[in-house]
Structure formats: structure tokens, C-alpha cells
Amino acid sequence: MIVKRGSVVSHKVAQEWGIGKVTEVTESRATIRFNDGMIRKITASHFRNLQPADPACYRPKVDKLPIPALSAVKSGSRKARPKQPVKATA
């Protein structure tokens, strides 16, 4: 199998990882994000253990939903100012 960026693959030996998508390829290894949420680096000598997989089956695990930035709040809303420290008088 030719391993290239964007390929959807599965690992013949580690089926529990699920389906993975190749995110980077160098001469010595490929970086693959698998359905179980892990990113793994497979050395070129183990490319023979990769096989093509159905792209529709690739669904990476999402840990958290993105939180909208505070600047996304309407510009007309009032912002609370932080309290100023009280100065001690001597």
C-alpha cells in the first residue's frame, strides 16, 4: 500500500485502534490519527501492516467541544471592570 497524507487506513495487527487518517508522512514514518482518539507514528518498516479502509468509517474521537471566544459576545454588552485594590493609609 502507498501511504500518503489524507489516506484512510486500518492496522492489520491492531484492529482495536479503529480506522485512521494519515496526517503526515516522512521517509521514515507516518503520523496517523485513529478513531480511538490517539495519534500514532508508524515506522516505514511497518507500512505493510496498514491496509486501505472506508473513509466513511473514519470518525475521530472528539474530547471537548470548542468554547466560543469572549470577544464573540455582542459588542454592545457591558463589561464588568475588575475591582481596584484599596490603598492602606498610614
| Residue 24 lies inside a defined structural domain of this protein | yes
| Residue 82 lies inside a defined structural domain of this protein | no
Over residues 35-80, the pLDDT tens digits come to 988 999 999 999 999 999 999 999 877 666 666 666 555 555 556 6
User: What is the β-pairing status of strands 29-34 and 8-11?
Assistant: unpaired
CA-derived radius of gyration, the chain? 24
- Identify the burial level of 31 via C-beta atoms within 10 angstroms of its C-beta, where 0-12 means exposed, 13-18 middle and 19 or more buried: middle
| Domains: count for the chain | 1
Q: What is the pLDDT of residue 29?
A: 96
| Residue 90 lies inside a defined structural domain of this protein | no
| Residue 18 lies inside a defined structural domain of this protein | yes
Q: Which domain holds residue 18?
A: 8-62
The CA distance from 31 to 40, in Å, is 6
| Residue 75 lies inside a defined structural domain of this protein | no
Is pTM beyond 0.75 here? no
| Residue 21 lies inside a defined structural domain of this protein | yes
C-alpha grid cell, residue 3: 501511504
